[in-house]
Structure 1
Amino acid sequence: MPETSRRGMLFGTAAISAGALLTACTSNEPAKKETPAANNQPAAADDKPGKPVTIGFAGPQADHGWLAAINSNAKSRAEKYSEVTLDITEGSNDTAAQIGQVETLINKKVDVLVILPTDGKALTQVGLKAMRAGIPVINLDRIFASPQAYRCYIGGDNYGMGVSAGNYIGEKLKGKANAKVIELAGIDALELTQQRSQGFKDALKNYPNIELVARQAADFTVESGQAKMAQLLQAQSSFDALWNHDDDQGVGALRAIQQAGRKDFLMVGGAGAKSAMDAIKADNSVVKATVLYPPTMAASAIDLARALGQAKGIGGLAELEIPASVTLFSAVVDKTNVDQYLPTGFS
C-alpha cells in the first residue's frame, strides 16, 4: 500500500471516474523549461488528440488488489488517447530492480515519467536523474524525499482517511454513552499507517463519549487480517465499531468476524475495494462503510503526464501549467452513495 506525505496544499477530487477533477493548485519549478499553453488550446482533460507523447510508467509489483488497480487504471486511461504511447515496466518490489527499470526508461528518452516507487526515499536519486535529463516526473502516491525529484506529485490522503473514518464512526456513535472502538491497522513500520492512525485519533477527540480500546497492526493481506482480527475478537468481548485500514485485509477480518458469530458492531473499511462496496450495498454484514484511497489516481497521473508532454494546462483550471501537487479527497462510501462509487471499486 502507498506511503504519502501531507506536503503542501490539499486538492479535493472525487473518485467517480478515472479522470479526477482537480480543484486547486500550487506552483513548482520544473527541471526543464516548458512552453505555456495558449488560452485557446484544448486542456489535457479534453479528448482531442495532441502531439504524440510517450509516457514511461514504473510501479511496484501488483501483489495487492490496490496496486493491481493502479496498473489497470494507468493502462486503460492511456488507451483513451490515440496519441499516447505507454511504456510500462514489469512491476518489482526490489528497489534496485525498479531503479534499473527507471534508468532504462530515461535512456529510451521517454517524454514523461510516471513513477510509483517501491520506496520513495530510495528512488529519489533516480527521480532527480530523470528531471536533470529533462524528463519531467509525475511522482505517484509514495512521495520522493525531495520535491526537486518530481514535477508533480499526486497521491491519496492517509491522514484524511483516518479523519474521515473517525468522523463517520463518531457520528454513528455520538448518542451512545461509553462507546468503544477498535482499530485494525496496516503495517506499523509504514508512515502511511501512522498517518491513518493519527487522523483517526484526532477525529475521535471530537467525540468524548468514544474510547479507542484496542489496536492491532496487520500486513495488508487477507491472511493477516483474519489472524489479527481473531486476536482482537478474543480480547474484546464487546465493542461498538471497528476501523480497518485496508479492504484487502478486511476480507480476512470479515471471515474472522463471521466465524466468531459477531454482529454487535459496525465496521468501516479503507481503500474502496469492490468486495467492501458489495458488502455495503447488500447490507447483510457488519461492513457499513469504506473510506476511499482511490487507485484512479493512476489514471489522473496519465492525464497529468499527457498534459506535461503537450505543454497544456488542466481542464477546469485557469492556470497554463499543471499543478505541482494533487492530494485526493478521502470520501466515505456507505449505503447512501455506494451506487455512485461502485464502478470505481477494485478487485
Structure 2
Amino acid sequence: MTASRTMRMRTIAAASAAAVIALLAGCSSDGGGTGGTAAAGVDNAAAGDKVVIGFSGPAADHGWLGAINSAAIAEAKKYGDVELRVAEGTNDANLQISQVETFINDKVDVIVLLPTDGAALTEAAIKAMKAGIPVINVDREFSSTAAARVTILGDNYGMGVSAGTYICNKLAGQSDAVVAEIAGIDSLPLTQDRSRGFADALSDCGLKVNARVAADFTIAGGQAVTAQLLSANPKIDAIWNHDDDQGIGVLAAIDEAGRSEFFMVGGAGSLNAMKSIKAGDTVLEATVIYPSTQAADGIALARLLAQNKNMGDLASSGIPNRIVLNAPVVTKDNVDEYLPIGFAS
C-alpha cells in the first residue's frame, strides 16, 4: 500500500466520522429514511412519533463492551420519543437469535444489533428485514448486505494504519528498529484487519513487524503473551498492543520484566490508558481510538429511520447504508479532548 493510498483511506474515515457528529448534533430535513426531499427548518432533535427500538449485544465481559451498552442506553434516554428494549447481553449466538425473533414478534420499529457472531446472526437479521423491521448492524458485520439497512463500524484496518503511522514517525530513520505487535484474538476478522493495516503502514516507512503474539482481549491473556514476547526479544523499540483492556496485563508484564527501552501504543481508548498517557508514568504513550459509541450512533440513526428523517448536514437525502468511524491517535498533546469518551476497563 502506498503512502498516498493510506492517507486517502484515513481522510475517508474522518469524513464518515464527521457525518455522524453532524447527525448527533441535529439537522434540518424531513425526507424519508430511505430517501426524501430535504426541508429547511425541521429539527431532528425535536420530539416526533414514538419509536420502539430493540437492542441486543454480546455480554459485557470487558470494558469496551460495557461502554457500548451504557452509551446506547444513555443515547436512548436523550429522546422522549424513544422506547428502548434491551435484551440481556449474551455470547450465545442461538440465544441472540431468539432475542431477534422476539423483537420481530413484538413488532419493534427498528433493531440495533451488535452480533456475538456476524455470520451466525445473518439469517435472523434477514428475517427481521423481510418483516419490514430495519436492522442496524453494529461493529461485527453480517455476511450478507441484505441483513442490514445500515452498518456502523469502527475502522479496524484504520486502527492499524494509525498505530503504524505513529510508530513510523517516532522511529524515523531507524531502519533496524525492532517493532513488536500484541494482537487480540487471531481468528477474528477485526484482528486480522488491524494487523494488516499495521503491516501496511510500517511497510510505507521501511519497517516491519519483527515479533508478534496474540492474546484474547483479557488482562490475564495480555500478561501471559507479553511475558513470552519480552523473554524472546531482549531488544524492542516499539510495541503496538491492539486492546487497552488486555493492555492492563501487558503493562503488568512489562513492569515485572523491568523493561522500559521501548514505547508502546495501545488500542480502543480506555480511561485508564488515557490517564496513564497523560501522567506519562509508563511506556504507554499513545492509544488509537476504537469508538465505544457505535451502538449509541445506531440508536440515533434508528430513531431517524423510524421517523422518516434524513441524516444531518449531508446534501444527499436519507440515511447512508454504511458508516465507518475514524481511528484517531490519542497522545499527551490531545488526551484531554478524548478523556470524556474513555471507557472504564
Asked if TM exceeds 0.5, the reply is: yes
| Aligned amino acid, residue 193 of structure 1 | T
- Stretch moving more, 315-324 or 60-69: 315-324
| Aligned amino acid, residue 14 of structure 2 | G
What is the aligned partner in structure 2 of residue 96 from structure 1?
94
* 3-state SS in 1 of match to 2:53: strand
- Cα deviation for residue 177 of structure 1 reads 4.2
Deviation readout 1:273-328 (Å, 9 max, x if unpaired): 11110110001110000011111111111110010010001121122201000000
What is the aligned partner in structure 1 of residue 212 from structure 2?
215
Measure the CA separation in 1 of the matches of 2:85 and 2:281.
Answer: 43
Structure 1 residues not aligned, in runs of 5+ = 1-8, 24-31
Which structure shows the bigger proportion of residues in helix conformation? 2
Of 227, 242, 260, which residue of structure 1 is paired with 2:257? 260
* 3-state SS in 1 of match to 2:194: helix
What is the aligned partner in structure 1 of residue 321 from structure 2?
324
2:188 is the alignment partner of 1:190:
yes
What is the aligned partner in structure 2 of residue 140 from structure 1?
138
2:14 is the alignment partner of 1:12:
yes
Measure the CA separation in 2 of the matches of 1:253 and 1:33.
Answer: 45
* 3-state SS in 1 of match to 2:174: coil
- Cα deviation for residue 112 of structure 1 reads 0.6
What is the aligned partner in structure 2 of residue 36 from structure 1?
36
| Aligned amino acid, residue 21 of structure 2 | A
The 8 Å contact of residues 10 and 328 in structure 1, kept in 2 or not, is answered as no
- Cα deviation for residue 20 of structure 1 reads 3.2
Measure the CA separation in 2 of the matches of 1:115 and 1:199.
Answer: 26
Measure the CA separation in 1 of the matches of 2:77 and 2:16.
Answer: 22
* 3-state SS in 2 of match to 1:123: helix
Of 224, 244, 260, which residue of structure 2 is paired with 1:227? 224
The 8 Å contact of residues 168 and 205 in structure 2, kept in 1 or not, is answered as yes
Query: In the superposition, relative to structure 1, how do residues 195 and 43 fare at CA in structure 2: closer, same or farther (>3 Å)?
Result: farther
| Aligned amino acid, residue 20 of structure 1 | I
What is the aligned partner in structure 1 of residue 46 from structure 2?
48
Query: In the superposition, relative to structure 1, how do residues 318 and 33 fare at CA in structure 2: closer, same or farther (>3 Å)?
Result: closer
Query: In the superposition, relative to structure 1, how do residues 35 and 198 fare at CA in structure 2: closer, same or farther (>3 Å)?
Result: closer
What is the aligned partner in structure 2 of residue 111 from structure 1?
109
Query: In the superposition, relative to structure 1, how do residues 130 and 148 fare at CA in structure 2: closer, same or farther (>3 Å)?
Result: same
| Aligned amino acid, residue 305 of structure 1 | A
Query: In the superposition, relative to structure 1, how do residues 109 and 279 fare at CA in structure 2: closer, same or farther (>3 Å)?
Result: same
* 3-state SS in 1 of match to 2:267: strand
Measure the CA separation in 1 of the matches of 2:153 and 2:102.
Answer: 24
* 3-state SS in 1 of match to 2:240: strand
Query: In the superposition, relative to structure 1, how do residues 43 and 150 fare at CA in structure 2: closer, same or farther (>3 Å)?
Result: farther
* 3-state SS in 2 of match to 1:298: helix
What is the aligned partner in structure 1 of residue 201 from structure 2?
203
What is the aligned partner in structure 1 of residue 27 from structure 2?
none
Query: In the superposition, relative to structure 1, how do residues 207 and 139 fare at CA in structure 2: closer, same or farther (>3 Å)?
Result: same
Measure the CA separation in 2 of the matches of 1:331 and 1:320.
Answer: 28
What is the aligned partner in structure 2 of residue 285 from structure 1?
282
Measure the CA separation in 1 of the matches of 2:183 and 2:309.
Answer: 40
Measure the CA separation in 1 of the matches of 2:210 and 2:41.
Answer: 56
Of 220, 233, 244, which residue of structure 2 is paired with 1:236? 233
What is the aligned partner in structure 1 of residue 305 from structure 2?
308
Deviation readout 1:189-219 (Å, 9 max, x if unpaired): 11111111111100011122x3421100100
| Aligned amino acid, residue 115 of structure 1 | L
The 8 Å contact of residues 35 and 318 in structure 2, kept in 1 or not, is answered as no
- Cα deviation for residue 51 of structure 1 reads 1.2
- Cα deviation for residue 12 of structure 1 reads 2.7
* 3-state SS in 2 of match to 1:121: helix
Query: In the superposition, relative to structure 1, how do residues 184 and 315 fare at CA in structure 2: closer, same or farther (>3 Å)?
Result: same
- Cα deviation for residue 175 of structure 1 reads 3.1
| Aligned amino acid, residue 42 of structure 1 | V
2:342 is the alignment partner of 1:340:
no
| TM-score for both structures, normalised by structure 2 | 0.90
* 3-state SS in 1 of match to 2:314: coil
What is the aligned partner in structure 1 of residue 157 from structure 2?
159
| TM-score for both structures, normalised by structure 1 | 0.90
| Aligned amino acid, residue 87 of structure 2 | T
- Cα deviation for residue 15 of structure 1 reads 7.5
Deviation readout 1:106-129 (Å, 9 max, x if unpaired): 111001110000111111111111
Query: In the superposition, relative to structure 1, how do residues 15 and 264 fare at CA in structure 2: closer, same or farther (>3 Å)?
Result: farther
* 3-state SS in 1 of match to 2:21: coil
| Aligned amino acid, residue 234 of structure 1 | S
Structure 2 residues not aligned, in runs of 5+ = 1-10, 25-31
Tell me the number of residue pairs that the alignment of Structure 1 and Structure 2 aligns.
326
